[in-house]
Structure 1
Amino acid sequence: MVNLRSLEIFYWAAQLNSFSRAAEKLNTTQPTISQRIAGLEDQFGTQLMNRSSKPISLTPSGRALLVHAELILRQVAKLEQEFDLSMQAPRTIRLGVSETIVHTWLARFLGETHRCFPNIDFDITVDVTPSIMSGLRDGEIDIGLMLGPATIDGMACLHLVDYSLRFYAAPGVIQGNRLTVDELKRLPIITFPRQTYPYSHLREKLFSLTGQTPRIFTNSSQATIERMAADAIGVALFAEGALSPSSANALVAVESDLELPPMSFYAFYMLGVGSEILESLVGIARKVAAASSAP
């Protein structure tokens, strides 16, 4: 008889094209993945995976088994869902989160999730969008709450919330509390890293307004951005409403004619076997995010 755990391991190794990524996702070791798949190959009497290729690939027999494995695993997931077993089982969800969400509604999301699914724990990684996306692709993260949208094969992308961008500065740094073109030439803007929004839009806008190469200081930590602005190094730019309580008295919102598109946040997770619980958690995230932006 075919072992269900072995089918699950085979399925995720095939989906992620990697033994190590499958081991990370299934919270096991790479040797265990290799042994389980070798056991299936012995059982079926045929090679299922080309291990010499990078990434690994399925043989014709492997592709045939993948069809059956997905059907079986989906049926098991449906059975568990019908009897509410998947929701009751203790498990850890690996969550990748943009720092803006940490400063706005992450605590409410965790509280609501615990109320609905008390047996679920979270392993939380706070990082920039490109790193979270890489973790999702590699199977190291189950759900990513980050900037979007993006079209990725096999991955859900659901809108959460939009936040307007706002400038913040230490009191007295900006005359009249309005960021003019002259001020933009004089002071650097402190914001998120180059590979993330709003850096690219900001740079183009500043260049067209000032006619000179803009001074932009970047950092992946909003707490550091706030600290630098509080020390009058420059003017901070991040999501409106995300100012941390510790900086409430150190920074003031600054008006500006510089218009930038909002920061749009989306939830990403891999579709397929076992995605039902992820879909439920993202549903909670969408409700909490919507409530956080309501007037």
Structure 2
Amino acid sequence: MAPVIRPRLSLISEVAMPRYKSMSSLVPALDGNELVKGIFSLSFLMICVVDGLTCSSFLDLNIFKSDIISTFYIAKLHGFGMFTIKQMEALYWVANLGTFEAAADYLNLTQSTVSKRIGELEGHFSTPLFDRTSRKAALTSTGRDVCEIAEEILKLNNSLIEIAKAQAGAPRRFRLGVTDLIAYSWLPELLQRISDRYPGMTLEPEVELTSDLLSRLAESKIDFIVCPRASHHPLVTSLPLGSIEMAWMCHPKLGLQGRLISKEELTQHRILIQSRGSVLRPMLKDIIDNPKLKFKSTVNSNNMAALAELAANGLGVTVLPSAFFRRYVDEGRLCVIKTSIEIPPLEYFVSYREDYNAQFLKEVTRLCEAVSTF
């Protein structure tokens, strides 16, 4: 039976405090309490890992995984070397993305490099971390325990980077997903601010429908999304960003401006509407699927800018966010239609997975709040 190792706080303090003091001299501008929380807690966990001990947090010394701890301890005694951040990253992303190939793509590594890092990590343990009989890279019971500890170490590593650089520890690659509306408005400014703050980062913006963005986020195929629907995935945080006023619009030559347009007159025209999968579709269900509102014909598109251009060329009536297409109105290419068929505001959310880069993703959320035009 594996021994249960329980460190004494006094013993850990003897080891950790000299390291804390030497580190604190390198960052004298920081408040002492903040330094203790950031550096000392990280030093504590790292020292525990190196010396064969681990815990889930500095403030809860009673939460241990005895089997994993004893393995760490035996590995140290037999000179198997130290665990590395690169190994932890490889383990985390293989486990979360489901394949070695996907993890290699995310980490911008070859698949053989990821396999090598996992192999080196598994060499420290008496049982495999992954079940190789499954098509996907499924964690074993030991693998789940190790991955949980690895995520904590990665979080603390980012915390130390945050203290040292006075900014959130950030990934080398950032996959950001938005809808076309954001892409055509304030996405460029957001990317510029992220690039200025994290100059070495590779940015990968994607423009997709809301349903596709939510699916990709749930599958860890994207890191952060901005779209008009909150995620209900248990591992995803969704926060409201703001709402957009929607309006009926058309080209002035249709003669629908400057007066209240009845439902009967509005339906005499072609409706230009977003296709299925768009968040606007459910909002307009009572209009599109209403047997009493039969429009002349329908044109579906998954691109809002395309709908605006079609309307600006006089092809029909459409629903658009008025603030984002005000330039079209100022140029006389579109006009707002006043009608009794009301459209509710469109609320936007930022969503991201609660992984070890959460502090960085919270910083991106703050940047979105600063640059958004909602």
TM (norm. structure 1) is 0.86
Identical aligned residues as a percent: 24
Residue 115 of structure 2 aligns to a residue whose secondary structure is helix
Pair 1:58-2:139 in alignment: yes
Map of 2:265 onto structure 1: 183
Deviations 1:126-168 (Å, cap 9, x if unpaired)? 2211222233233332211111122112111111110021111
In 2, Cα distance between the equivalents of 1:226 and 1:281? 29
Deviations 1:210-262 (Å, cap 9, x if unpaired)? 25488442212222112211222211212121117467432112112112222
C-alpha contact (below 8 Å) 1:136/1:144 kept by paired residues: yes
Structure 2 alignment gaps of length 5 or more: 1-81
Residue 122 of structure 2 aligns to a residue whose secondary structure is helix
C-alpha contact (below 8 Å) 1:77/1:274 kept by paired residues: yes
Q: Which has the higher contact order (CA 8 A, sep 6+)?
A: 1
C-alpha contact (below 8 Å) 1:155/1:268 kept by paired residues: yes
Map of 2:337 onto structure 1: 254
Using the TM superposition, name which of 16-25 and 97-106 deviates more: 16-25
Q: Rg bigger for which structure?
A: 2
- List aligned pairs for 1:270-289, cutoff 5 A: 270-289=353-372
In 2, Cα distance between the equivalents of 1:271 and 1:90? 14
Map of 1:268 onto structure 2: 351
Residue 254 of structure 2 aligns to a residue whose secondary structure is coil
In 2, Cα distance between the equivalents of 1:45 and 1:213? 69
Structure 1 alignment gaps of length 5 or more: none
Pair 1:173-2:254 in alignment: yes
Q: 1:84 aligns with which of 165, 172, 175?
A: 165
| Letter matched to residue 129 of structure 2 | L
Q: 2:124 aligns with which of 43, 55, 63?
A: 43
Deviations 1:82-120 (Å, cap 9, x if unpaired)? 112765879442211111123333234334444544444
Map of 2:278 onto structure 1: 196
C-alpha contact (below 8 Å) 1:167/1:253 kept by paired residues: yes
Q: Runs (4+) of structure 1 moved beyond 6 Å? A: none
In 1, Cα distance between the equivalents of 2:133 and 2:355? 26
Map of 2:307 onto structure 1: 225
- List aligned pairs for 1:20-31, cutoff 5 A: 20-31=101-112
Deviations 1:14-54 (Å, cap 9, x if unpaired)? 22333333233322233433332233223324211123325
Question: What is the aligned residue count?
Answer: 291
Q: Which has the higher strand share?
A: 1
Map of 1:93 onto structure 2: 174
C-alpha contact (below 8 Å) 1:190/1:235 kept by paired residues: yes
In 1, Cα distance between the equivalents of 2:225 and 2:360? 14
Map of 1:10 onto structure 2: 91
TM (norm. structure 2) is 0.70
In 2, Cα distance between the equivalents of 1:205 and 1:40? 58
1:69 CA displacement:
1.2
Residue 267 of structure 1 aligns to a residue whose secondary structure is strand
Instruction: Call closer, same or farther: CA 1:50–1:120 in 2, change over 3 Å.
Output: same
C-alpha contact (below 8 Å) 2:248/2:320 kept by paired residues: yes
Q: 1:137 aligns with which of 214, 218, 231?
A: 218
In 2, Cα distance between the equivalents of 1:183 and 1:210? 13
In 2, Cα distance between the equivalents of 1:30 and 1:186? 59
